[in-house]
Structure 1
Amino acid sequence: MNILITGSNGFLGQYLSQFLAEKGDSVLAHTRKAQTFDHPNIHNINFDLNDNLANIDLNQVEVIIHCAGRAHVMHETAASPLEAYRQTNVQGTLNLAQKAVQSGVKRFIYLSSIKVNGEQTTTQAFHPNDDVRTDDPYGLSKYEAEQALLDLSQRTGLEVVIIRPVLIYGPNV
């Protein structure tokens, strides 16, 4: 399968790219700056999600796994953190999804965040049908991106899968 993974130099993206390449899939590894990868099934493509993606060729891509985004800003410098999160996590995601539609991509898998559901539970685990309880700009931007993707899916038929993982950690995080 031909898969585009955004954020391929990030913590999750690098492991996912390697795993899928070793399974035999052809991985188009997105980064913002040119990078080399040590597997013959991984090929780099570099672009910024907020740029015009007209010159990006995704015609051979069957699935996009969208891991890239603005997260974990420890020392915020943006005048409006919410707008900074929205620029990448909502508008950048929508730019890529619209390009996916134009290119005939079949499935768009979006790595959202459990923060859409809130910071904690008190009596039971989070459930997919829970009310949205975003407590910060990051969680709100991820939820807004989910809504934009679902709207695009409804209008175009692009299959959208939304995953809300908890914080992912491990070696070399």
Structure 2
Amino acid sequence: MSVLVTGATGYIGRALTERLHRDGESTVLVSRRGAIPGRGKPSHAVDLATGTVSDELLRGVETVYHLAGIAHRRAAEGQHAAVNCRATLALAEAAERAGVQTFVFLSSVKAMGAAATAMPRRESEVAPPADAYGRSKWEAECALRERYAGSAMSVIILRPALVYGPRPKANLKWLLRAARFQLPAPPAGGARSMVGLDDLVELLLLLPRCGLSGVSTFNVTDGHAYSARESFLLLRAALGKEGAGRTGPAWLWRLLAALLDFLQRQPQGSSYDRLFAAERYDNHAVQEATGWRPRQTLATVAPMMVATL
């Protein structure tokens, strides 16, 4: 199988390309600066904000994994639209023209907008996204569904929840640092879906062999929901610290979250909402359609997270 991977040097892209190389697959790697992902071969430099993947790079490719995107909260709305939406559609058009069989677009649960309840949401339970990132992913999804419903090229849209694994990102990185410095545990409240990096890679590798046609859209989670408190305590245990320790009051965690918002130059309340809001997503559709079963949980991966940060 010949595959093309955009975003090959990103968090998910590195893990996918390393696995593809280990499996002996023929790959065409694309990144913004042409860096080398891990121990792999150099990638082709393509800035999707201003350029496109050439027809030459797509020649002979059977599967495209489009992982590249812009998620920076301080990026302008036009940047999100250009990279996450317009570049996605341009690549899909080029892929179809080149005879690609499977086009996998890595979207996000943020494309589903805010949750109305704390219950797990199915793929169709969406609301207008509130931020530029979510809107750009949603607009790309809608355009793909409209354009490729009857195409010979299978288009698969994945909406992964927060991804955990080595060298954790986002909230998990800050919770791990808080546990390492023995801050009081967060109070109870909220719960969010997540998915393990290795499980997500396994799903990506499985998709071209599933015989899916038209356009498919799937939420991707490990089937569990983790509160900030549970995540913190799992990380604390992986650090070898006994017991639950002290529990900090909500006002303390609001203050810490506000400080994080200030340091990251993002709207006040953003970090607290991500830590304590309810964001749960149903993963039954992808399991039924593909036979994929998540094997990782935050508890099983926490020791690896601790060892790499």
> Do Structure 1 and Structure 2 share a fold, with TM-score over 0.5?
yes
Structure with bigger helix share is: 2
Offset at residue 3 of structure 1 (A): 1.1
Q: 1:31: which partner in 2?
A: 31
- Tell me how far apart the structure 2 counterparts of residues 151 and 2 of structure 1 sit (CA, whole Å): 27
Aligned alpha-carbon RMSD (Å): 2.0
Q: 1:6: which partner in 2?
A: 6
- Tell me how far apart the structure 2 counterparts of residues 52 and 98 of structure 1 sit (CA, whole Å): 11
Secondary structure (helix, strand or coil) at the match of 1:116 reads helix
Q: 2:47: which partner in 1?
A: 48
- Count of residue pairs brought into register by the alignment: 166
Q: Structure 1 126/105 Cα, relative in aligned 2: closer, same or farther at 3 Å?
A: same
- TM-score relative to the length of structure 2: 0.50
Q: Structure 1 164/158 Cα, relative in aligned 2: closer, same or farther at 3 Å?
A: same
Offset at residue 123 of structure 1 (A): 3.1
- Tell me how far apart the structure 2 counterparts of residues 55 and 163 of structure 1 sit (CA, whole Å): 24
Q: Does 1:135 align with 2:130?
A: yes
Offset at residue 52 of structure 1 (A): 4.4
- Tell me how far apart the structure 2 counterparts of residues 43 and 60 of structure 1 sit (CA, whole Å): 19
Contact 1:117 1:126 in 2 (8 A): no
Q: 1:15: which partner in 2?
A: 15
Contact 1:63 1:107 in 2 (8 A): yes
Q: Structure 1 43/155 Cα, relative in aligned 2: closer, same or farther at 3 Å?
A: farther
Q: 1:83: which partner in 2?
A: 78
Contact 2:104 2:157 in 1 (8 A): yes
Secondary structure (helix, strand or coil) at the match of 2:141 reads helix
Secondary structure (helix, strand or coil) at the match of 2:15 reads helix
Contact 2:112 2:138 in 1 (8 A): no
Q: 1:92: which partner in 2?
A: 87
- Tell me how far apart the structure 2 counterparts of residues 29 and 153 of structure 1 sit (CA, whole Å): 24
Contact 2:46 2:52 in 1 (8 A): no
Secondary structure (helix, strand or coil) at the match of 1:164 reads strand
Q: 1:65: which partner in 2?
A: 65
- TM-score relative to the length of structure 1: 0.85
Offset at residue 5 of structure 1 (A): 1.1
Offset at residue 83 of structure 1 (A): 1.9
- Tell me how far apart the structure 2 counterparts of residues 154 and 120 of structure 1 sit (CA, whole Å): 27
Contact 2:112 2:127 in 1 (8 A): yes
Task: Kindly indicate whether structure 1 or structure 2 has the higher relative contact order, using CA contacts under 8 Å at least 6 residues apart.
Answer: 1
Q: Structure 1 29/130 Cα, relative in aligned 2: closer, same or farther at 3 Å?
A: same
Q: 1:108: which partner in 2?
A: 103
Identity within the alignment, %: 33
Offset at residue 36 of structure 1 (A): 3.0
- Tell me how far apart the structure 1 counterparts of residues 33 and 51 of structure 2 sit (CA, whole Å): 13
- Tell me how far apart the structure 2 counterparts of residues 4 and 54 of structure 1 sit (CA, whole Å): 12
- Tell me how far apart the structure 1 counterparts of residues 157 and 71 of structure 2 sit (CA, whole Å): 17
Q: Deviations over 1:114-144 (max 9, x none)?
A: 0112244633112112133312111110010
- Tell me how far apart the structure 2 counterparts of residues 72 and 52 of structure 1 sit (CA, whole Å): 21
- Tell me how far apart the structure 2 counterparts of residues 149 and 54 of structure 1 sit (CA, whole Å): 20
